[in-house]
Amino acid sequence: MKSLQIIGSKTMGGAERWFSRFTEALQRHGEQVHAVVRRGSELDRHHLKDLAVTALPMRTVWDPLSKREVSRCVRQVAAPIVQTYMGRATRLTRIRPGRGQVHLARLGGYYKLDGYRHAQGWIGNTRALCDWLVAQGMRADRVFHIYNFQAPAPGVDDAAVAALRQGLGLRPDDWALLTPGRFVPVKGQKYILDAIARLPAEIDGRRLRLLLLGDGPLGDALRAQAQALGIDDRVLWCGWQQDPAPWFHLADAVIFPSRDRETFGNVIVEAWAFGKPLVVTAFRGAREIARHGEDSYVVPCDDGEALARGVAELLSDAAMRSGFVAAGRRRLEQEFSEAVIIDRYRELYAQAVDWA
């Protein structure tokens, strides 16, 4: 079924990476997809090369010209399903009744809902988020829970990974701990820095090195914190990477220290896909998805001491690490595979066209 997928973000983050993966997967599975992105955004410049794409200014949510431009695109593409992401795209998208089109708003967080209520259906990526939407007055029969999927990890040449490792100044036996995410408060990087400061310089004779994969407004504060803690030599600032795959392949473990309001947490399923043992905090999404002691080591949020303990136990126990990897891959195949999630969207789209 043809769908128009609209997002208005300027920079890349978890939601934008999901948009890219999802639209490409829809097309791979034989669905006709047209994407609308913000002109000049990172999605416009670097992604979605194999899709039909329209780039619109989407200046502000109040701009009448931007609303007209989005409305014109919706009419011209004439897709029965119009799916929007986050506030800017959702507020700018207005579909008049009787046109044979249905507006679905996909939410990945606990946002202010005034700009979402005009949609005809809502998709939440966790059960808890969907329960909250219903509690906030959204029609229960129009709220749908569909998890994010994670595609199988792309292969990376061993030589390329070795070269990356060497370029970072890592020894062959260093522990490489990967923490991906924008440098914003919800991602909780300050707690993993605190944890690294509490850990010994070596575990089982191997140096600890933390790879922070990202950037953002908290960059200066995080660098100052690392310097104050005296762990500059243990932290590698890797920047935002358009392709994080080599970095996941490089890692010995993934540490995901997000704070409670993190809704889903794509890094959980990414770690499973790349076959990496995971230490994760018990934020909202992790409480629903991760299983402590089975597929990950779960610690409380905002607790550097607990994070340090989790990292130390994981790195000291090879059986734990291999057990987490095996269980994570099973969970991925059974609950978070591309085929399973695309089928859920197909079912929803087939149901939603009857609302038009």
Walk me through the domains of the chain, giving residue ranges and CATH numbers.
Answer: 3-149+337-355 (3.40.50.2000), 158-335 (3.40.50.2000)
CA–chain centroid gap for 173, Å, is 30
Express each pLDDT in 308-340 by its tens digit: 999 999 999 999 999 999 999 999 999 999 999
Q: State the Cα–Cα distance between residues 311 and 290, nearest whole angstrom.
A: 16
Average pLDDT, the chain: 96
Where helices occur in the chain by DSSP H, the ranges are 14-28, 42-46, 64-77, 86-92, 127-135, 158-167, 189-198, 219-229, 245-250, 266-273, 284-289, 304-315, 318-335, 338-352
Instruction: Supply the pTM of this predicted model.
Output: 0.86
Task: Indicate the burial class of 100 (C-beta count within 10 angstroms; 0-12, 13-18, 19 or more).
Answer: exposed
Express each pLDDT in 19-48 by its tens digit: 999 999 999 999 999 999 999 999 999 888
DSSP conformation letters of 198-223: HS-SEETTEEEEEEEE---TTHHHHH
pLDDT of residue 152: 85
251, two tokens: 């890692």
Express each pLDDT in 102-141 by its tens digit: 999 999 999 999 999 999 999 999 999 999 999 999 999 9
Tell me 336's DSSP state.
S
Residue 279 has pLDDT above 90, yes or no: yes
Confidence tier at 50 by pLDDT (50, 70, 90) = confident
CA–chain centroid gap for 291, Å, is 19
